[in-house]
Amino acid sequence: MQLIVCLFITALVLGAYAQSDEETSSGTLETTQLPTATGADYATSGTTYADESRTITITASTDYATVTDISSIFATDNGTASSTTRSGNGTTTSSPTETILVGSAKTTTSLNGTATTNGTASGTSTSAQPTNTVPCNGHPALCNRKFSNITHVGAHNSPFIRPGNLAANQMLDVETQLNDGVRMLQFQTHLQNGTMHLCHTSCDLLDVGTLEDYLTTVAKWLRAHPYDVVAILMGNYDVVTPANYTAPVVNSGLIDFVYTPPTQPMPLDSWPTLAEMIFRNQRAVVMLDYEANQTAIPWLLDEFSQMWETLFSPTDRDFPCTAQRPPDQARNVRQQRMYMANHNLNLQVAVAGISIDVPFFPVLNETNAVEGYGSAGWAVANCTTMWDRPPTFLLVDYYNIGSFNGSVFQVAADANGVNYDRASCCGTAGTTNGGIAVKDVARLKWYILLWASTSWVLLS
C-alpha cells in the first residue's frame, strides 16, 4: 500500500510538471498516466516458434531489386560506377556517377584468443582495388561487411517518447534517432479497431499513434539517405495474423525498401553485404517476433528464425549473455544466427498484483557507458567472450544518455573496428548533460525521485 501511495503521489507531481511544460501536437495539455498492471514487454501466450529442422526457400512475388546482378557493376579506374535505379512508383532513372562501395582487408583484434570485433570482409585480387569513400551506415569500412557481421545500435521501444509518461523509453523522435546512428527500431504494436497502433503494453497506458504514420517517417528518411540500411523489429503483442502488417508497410512507402531473404532461416554467412543491399535498394530488414509467415509474406521476416535474444527487460546489472528466446535452441544453431543483446536496465516494481518494468534512471549513464561494471561495453565484451562474436544488435533505452553523448555508438564502433565521431550525437542544438535537452533536466530529477522513493519502500 505504501508503494502504491508513493507511486501515485509521484505521478501527480510528474503530471503537474508535464502540464506546466509540455503540450501535445493537438494543442492540449497532457497528464502523466500511472500504469495499473503490466505483464512482460512482449506476448506471453498463444505464441509459437518456427521449426528449426527445415529450411524454407523464399520466392519473392515482386522484384524489389534496383540492380538484379551485383556482378554487373564494375569500378572504373577512378573507383566510380554508374547504375540505373527504380523509383518507388516503378519508373526508371539513371543515377549520377558514384564511388563504388568496396571494403577493406580483414582486421581483428583478440582478447585471450577470442575475437573482439566484427571482422571486415576480405578478398584477394591481382589488381589494385579502388578506395571507397561512400559511408554505408556511417562508415565506408562497413560497405563490404555482411549485415550479420556488424553491431547495430537499436532503440528499445523507439516510438515511445511521450514526455512525463512512465512508459516512455526514449527522449528523441525516430528521425533524430536515425540521424544519430540508430540502425534498429524496435517497438510493440497493438490492433485497435482494425488499425495497428504503437502502444506500450496497453493503449490505455501509452498510445503514440498508428504504425503507418511511424513507418511513413522511416520510409521518408530512407529515401533521403540512400546509403543506409535499417532493421525494424515489430512486437506482435496481440498475436494477430501477419496480414495486419501489410497495409501499414505498403501505404507508408516502406515496401519500396524491404529486404526479402532467400531462405528461412538465414545462417550468418547467407546475409548480403551492406553494399549489396544498398545497390538493390533492399535497405529495410523488417521482422515480426510472432506469427510471421514468410511463405505468404516473404519480406516480413520471422524474428526467431533469423536471430535470438538475451533476457528481455533485464533487471540484473551483470547482463548475462544467456539466450532467452527462442527457448531450447541448440548452441551450435545459435552460433549460426544473428543475436540481440537487450541492454536496457529496468526497475521491476511488483506489489498487490501490480507489475511494472520501467527504465532504471539512476544508473542510466553507467548502463549506456563505454566501460565499467554494467556498461554497454561490459555487456558486449561478455557476449563476445561467450559467443565468439559481438552481438548483431545492441538494444538500449535513452540512447542519447551515457558516459558522454551517444556513448553506445562508441561501443558499437569499437565492436565494428571503426572510428566514432563523438560530436555527431545527439539530437538538435541546445542539448547538454549527456544529450538531454536542457528543459528535460528537471523532469529527469523527478524520475530519479520516483526511483529513489520506490526503492526505499521496497527495501524498508
Our answer to whether residue 200 is catalytic in this structure is yes
Q: How far apart are the C-alpha atoms of 250 and 215, rounded to whole Å? A: 10
Q: Please choose, from the candidates 26, 56, 38, 108, the residue with its C-alpha nearest in 3D space to the C-alpha of residue 292.
A: 56
Region 15-28: what's the mean pLDDT? 35
Residues 312-370 have pLDDT tens digits of 888 889 999 999 999 989 999 999 999 999 999 888 765 445 466 778 888 999 999 99
Please name the amino acid found at residue 207: D
pLDDT in tens, 102-112: 544 434 443 33
Q: Judge contact between 38 and 202, C-beta under 8 A.
A: yes
Nearest to 168 by CA among 154, 188, 195, 153: 188
| Per-residue pLDDT, 274 | 97
Signed CA dihedral, 216, 248, 308, 263: sign only: negative
Q: Is 296 helix (H, G, I), strand (E, B) or coil?
A: coil
DSSP state letter for 345: -
Q: Quote the DSSP letter at residue 149.
A: G
pLDDT at 253 over 90: yes
CB count within 10 Å of CB 323 equals 19
pTM, two decimal places: 0.77
- Indicate which residue of 139, 152, 156, 197 is catalytic: 156
Please tell me the distance from the alpha carbon of residue 58 to that of residue 294, in angstroms, as a whole number.
7
pLDDT score, position 130: 59
Q: Which of 139, 152, 190, 200 is catalytic?
A: 200
Residue 212 in contact with residue 459, Cβ under 8 Å?
Answer: no
Cα gap 392→347, rounded to integer Å: 25
152 is catalytic: no
pLDDT given at position 401:
95
CB 188 within 8 A of CB 199: yes
> Comparing C-alpha atoms, which of 220, 237, 236 is closest to residue 173?
220
Q: Please state, in angstroms and as integers, the Cα–Cα distance from residue 90 to each residue in 66, 96, 223, 224, following that order.
A: 10, 19, 14, 18
* CA 293 vs CA 49, 244, 389, 425, 437: distances in Å: 11, 12, 29, 38, 42
**Which tens digits make up the pLDDT trace of 275-326?**
999 999 999 999 999 999 999 999 999 999 999 999 988 888 999 999 999 9
**Which of the four pLDDT bands, split at 50, 70 and 90, describes residue 127?**
low
| Short-list 385, 445, 375, 411, CA closest to 151 | 411
Domains of the chain, start order: 38-57+140-438+448-459 (3.20.20.190)
Beta bridge partner(s), residue 322: none
Beta strands at 98-99 and 80-81: parallel, antiparallel or unpaired? antiparallel
Paired residues of 263 in beta bridges: 57
11: cell is: 505521478
For 266-422, where are the alpha helices, taking DSSP H only? 274-279, 303-306, 331-334, 364-367, 376-387, 407-416
* Lowest-confidence segment of 5-19, 179-193, 247-261 by average pLDDT: 5-19
Q: What is the pLDDT of residue 89?
A: 35
> Residue 4: is it exposed, middle or buried by C-beta count within 10 angstroms (0-12/13-18/19+)?
middle
Question: Which of 311-320, 414-423, 437-446 is predicted least confidently?
Answer: 437-446
Compute the distance between CA of residue 285 and CA of residue 138 in angstroms, rounded to an integer: 17
